[in-house]
Amino acid sequence: MDFPFLWATFLRLIEGVPLTLQLAFLSVGTGLIFALLLGFAMLARFRPLKWLAQAYVFIFRGTPLLVQLFLIYYGLGQFRPFLQELDLWWFFRSPFYCVLLALAMNTAAYGAEIIRGGLQSVPAAQVEAARAFGMSGLTLYRRIIGPIALRQALPSYGNELILMVKATALGSTVTLMELTGIAHKLISETFRAVEIFLVAGSIYLFLNFLLTRLVAWGERAIAPDLAAQEKAKTDIGLKPVQAH
């Protein structure tokens, strides 16, 4: 093991972490807002709205993120004069904004499915009981539907967050110098792929480890009773096996 080289690589790679985190946080943030709208739209009673949301989710989950990114970054270049006229060209010219848009639109589709699943998992009886108490509208959502749906959705959403951190690596294909971009540059300079992979991979694993801890903490915070039960079951080896 060439430790001085590993250390030097680490110092170079760590410069890419802020951009990786920036991409991940900004895209997840904007994606979540969009996902919420889509998730509710998928359960809407107004059919056209529902179909529109379903079509969006179907298309974005059925195609690779890289194709979506190329479509936005390279593809929209075809309409450059038009975009310049609309004064939007500064946005679509920038690889950073294009990656952000592609990631956010992609995670919105997956997030919408998770939110729809969470909302549908709320037992009808609970909603009926709440209505019988005279709750309506926002109160119903704030007290009953929201908390139950959130408990259901958070574990899946945690997985989606990790996928997003990994997905930021695609930024390197459109010249962004985030973690993978720098790793790629270093590999093609030195051809020491294994060592550089080791360091870059460790950084990603560390980021994702922090993320899983954060999500686990969040799960405990919103559902302490459930988390305690689960832990007890795991501890004594009774954790039920998931049936298909």
Partner 1 sequence: MQSLALLAWGPTGWLDELTFAAGLTLLVALAGFALGSVFGALAAAAKLSRSRLARGAAEVYTTVLRGVPDLLVIYLFYFGGAAMLSAVARLFGHTGFVGMPAFVTAAIAIGLVNGAYQTEVLRGAYLAIPKGELEAATACGMSGWTKARRIVIPQVLRFALPGLGNVWQLVLKESALVAVIGLAVHLPSIDVFSLFTLPEVRFNDLLRQAHVAAGSTRLPFIFYLAAGCFYLLLTTASTLVFQRAERRALVGMRRA
CB 182 within 8 A of CB 12: yes
Binding residues among 68-127 for partner 1 as defined by CB under 8 A? 68, 70-71, 74-79
Q: Report if residue 54 touches partner 1, rule: CB under 8 A.
A: no
Residue with token string 């004064």: 87
> Which segments of the chain does DSSP mark as H helices, in order?
3-14, 17-42, 47-62, 65-73, 80-85, 89-93, 95-120, 124-132, 137-140, 146-167, 179-190, 193-222, 224-235
The least CB distance from residue 28 to partner 1, in Å, is 16
Site size for partner 1, by CB under 8 A?
44
CA–CA separation, 134 vs 143, rounded Å? 12
| Other C-beta atoms lying within 10 Å of the C-beta of residue 78 | 9
Instruction: Give the shortest CB-7-to-partner 1 separation in angstroms.
Output: 19
Instruction: Rule CB under 8 A: choose which of 172, 182, 219, 223 binds partner 1.
Output: 172
Nearer to partner 1, 154 or 169 (CB): 169
64 vs 155, beta carbon nearer partner 1: 64
Binding footprint of partner 1 on the chain (CB under 8 A): 59, 62-68, 70-71, 74-79, 162, 166-170, 172-173, 180, 183-184, 187-188, 191-194, 197, 200-201, 204-205, 208-209, 241-244
